[in-house]
Amino acid sequence: MLNRTLIDPQAFATQAETLQGTVSLQDLDKRTWSPDIADTATDIHYAITGGMDRWQRLFLDLTVSGSLKLNCQRCMQPTEFLLDEQVRIILFHREQDLDDAMIVDEELEGMVLENELDVFTLLEDQILMALPISPKHDQCGNNHLDKINQDKPNPFAVLAGLKKS
C-alpha cells in the first residue's frame, strides 16, 4: 500500500489547488478489488481541483478514469470497463447544512469538512460507486472474434489457407 495522500480540504478549495496523479488499483484499499475485477494491476488516473461555486460554497471537483478489466458474469471472460467519473463534492461546515442542501438537491454530493481528507479514500468511493453491479459483454464471444480478426491482418489469406487444407 502506498503512502496515503492527505489534503486539508478547506485550504485546498479556498486556494483553488489542483492535484493529479496515477495510482494502481493494487495500491488502493482492497475494498475496491471487486471479485469481478480480472486484473488489479490497472492504472487509475485522478485529478482534484478545488474551488468555490456561485453560492460561495467550497467544492472539490474529482475526476477518476481508467480502463478496468472485469469478468463478464455470463461467460466469465474479461470485458473492458471504461471508468470515467466526474463528480463535484460540495464541502459543508456543518452536518445540518449538508442535510439541508441534499433536501433541495437530491443529486448533490457533499461532505462535512474535516481537517484532513484522504484523497485515495475519495477515489475508492468513486470507483466503488462506478463499478457495474453485474458486468456483462454486450454480446459474449464478440470480443474474442474481434481479437482474432485484429491478429490476422489479411482474412483472405486465412481463407486461402483453409481451402488448401
Q: Which residues bind Zn ion (CB under 5 A)?
A: 72, 74-75, 137, 140
Residue pair 143/137 in contact (Cβ under 8 Å)? The answer is: yes
Which is nearer to Zn ion, 18 or 139 (by Cβ)? 139
CB closer to Zn ion out of 70 and 117: 70
By beta-carbon proximity to Zn ion, the closer residue of 28 and 68 is 68
CA distance 137 to 81: 10
**Which of 79/126 has CB closer to Zn ion?**
79
For 37, which DSSP code? B
Task: Report in angstroms how near the CB of residue 15 gets to Zn ion at its nearest.
Answer: 47
Nearest distance from C-beta of residue 134 to Zn ion, angstroms: 11
Write the CB contacts of 111 (distance below 8 Å, at least 6 apart in sequence): 9, 89, 90, 91, 92, 98
* Nearest distance in Å: CB 82, Zn ion: 16
Contact 83, 44 (CB under 8 A): yes
Indicate the residue whose CB is closest to Zn ion. 72
